[in-house]
Amino acid sequence: MTAQIIDGKAFAANLRERVGVLATEFEAKSGRKAGLAVVLVGDDPASQVYVASKGKATIAAGMASFEHKLPGSTTQDALEALVKSLNADPAVDGILVQLPLPAHLDDKAVIALIDPDKDVDGLTDTNIARLANQQDGLFPCTPFGCMMMLEDRLGDLSGKDAVVIGRSQLVGRPMAQLLTNANATVTVAHSRTKDLPAVVRRADIVVAAVGRPGMVKGDWIKPGATVIDVGINRLPPEPGKDKGRLVGDVAFAEAVEVAGAITPVPGGVGPMTIAVLLRNALVAAYRHEAIALAKGAI
Q: What are the residue numbers of the active site? A: 54, 98, 121
Residue 245, Cα to own-chain centre: how many angstroms?
Answer: 22
Name the DSSP letter for residue 99. S
Does the CA dihedral 140-99-93-230 come out positive or negative? negative
Output the DSSP codes for 7-38.
-HHHHHHHHHHHHHHHHHHHHHHHSS--EEEE
Q: Decide if 207 contacts 164 (C-beta within 8 A).
A: yes
Q: Decide if 244 contacts 232 (C-beta within 8 A).
A: no
Q: Decide if 234 contacts 246 (C-beta within 8 A).
A: yes
Residue 180, Cα to own-chain centre: how many angstroms?
Answer: 17
Question: d(Cα 161, Cα 221) in Å, to the nearest integer?
Answer: 13
Output the DSSP codes for 133-195.
TT-S----HHHHHHHHHHHHHHS--TT-EEEEE---TTTHHHHHHHHHHTT-EEEEE-TT-TT
Of 4, 68, 36, the closest CA to residue 255 belongs to 4
